[in-house]
Amino acid sequence: MDKPLRRPVSNAPDGPLLSCMEKIQRTLNAKSLFSVMNRLESLSKQKGLNAHVSPSGTACYITSNMFYIEVQLEEDGKVMDVKLAHLGEAPVICDDLLQHLRTKNYDAFGKILEDLSNLYQIPGNSEMKAKGYLALQALEKDLYSMSLLDRTQDVNRVTEVLHGKVGHLLPRTGGTPMNIEFYISPYQVLEAELNPGSQVCGTKTVVTVEGTDTFHKLPLSPLLVDSQAGKDSNLAFLPLTDEFSIDLPAFFVLKFHQPIPMSSSSIEEIQRLTGML
């Protein structure tokens, strides 16, 4: 259990043992400080990360070359605070990770650890990986600015999905990536109208960055010129010049929670705009 899983459990020689250990850990309800620390250390190593306990024994640091997570606990094992810091940034309170640990949802906590690690799966050294993260931040800022265009204060989520520039956008918070809800069916719209308190869920996608074998020009700063659309309702963006971009072995990715149907003409248009096949 001290070694990270580099391959599927079923293919590993010690696969049955690891599988049993994981099931036991998921079943045990960690209550004491020792058991919570042990669970955090084990989960971190399973995700390929390092874990260190502070000399006081009440703080656990989950680290990689690009980010670290600080978990503060009380003597009885209760989680007090969780902070996340990316390379070169000050640590910030991470509410999503805090809630997962307080409710002992270690599966969700582990999924966020994977998402954070995947942000830096870009070929190259730490500097290249950090540039990829900056590019993702630039894209996120532009998308968020676009989501605010023509938006009124009292707009509801369904209206944003149907008529917003990008749909209903949830910015990245801590370890949870940016999420965009971009489609909702007529039946769901009707359900939302008839049951105002119901939380209907449309089709969503996650915004992230991934490594690739070829270089692509990615922005290092937001490119949206201003918060106002042009006269023809088209948004104005700065060109991807050397001043505002960098060539990286990475590209932006929209990850869908489930496959969605798409017309061949839309696929061809996306290929034309992105230059990807």
User: Residue 35's pLDDT is what?
Assistant: 85
Query: Given this model, what pLDDT does residue 188 score?
Result: 86
pLDDT, residue 29, reads 53
Q: What is the pLDDT along the chain (277 residues), one digit of tens a residue?
A: 444 444 444 455 666 776 676 666 555 555 678 888 888 998 999 899 999 999 888 899 999 999 999 999 998 888 999 999 998 889 999 999 999 999 999 999 999 999 999 989 999 999 999 999 999 999 999 999 998 887 777 788 888 888 888 999 999 987 789 999 999 888 888 888 888 777 788 889 999 999 999 999 999 999 998 755 544 556 888 888 888 899 999 999 999 988 888 899 999 998 888 777 6
* 100-140 tens-digit pLDDT: 999 999 999 999 999 999 989 999 999 999 999 999 999 99
Beta strands in the chain (DSSP E): 50-53, 59-63, 67-73, 79-86, 92-93, 168-170, 178-183, 203-219, 245-256
CA distances to 29, 43, 142, 274 from 82, rounded to whole Å, are 20, 16, 28, 38
pTM over 0.75: yes
In this structure, the chain runs to a length of: 277
pLDDT for the residue 157 = 83
pLDDT at 228: 55
Kindly report the CA angle at 19 between 13 and 22, in degrees rounded to 5? 135
- Angle of helix 15-27 relative to helix 106-118, nearest 10 degrees, comes to 120
Instruction: Please give the pLDDT value at position 209.
Output: 93
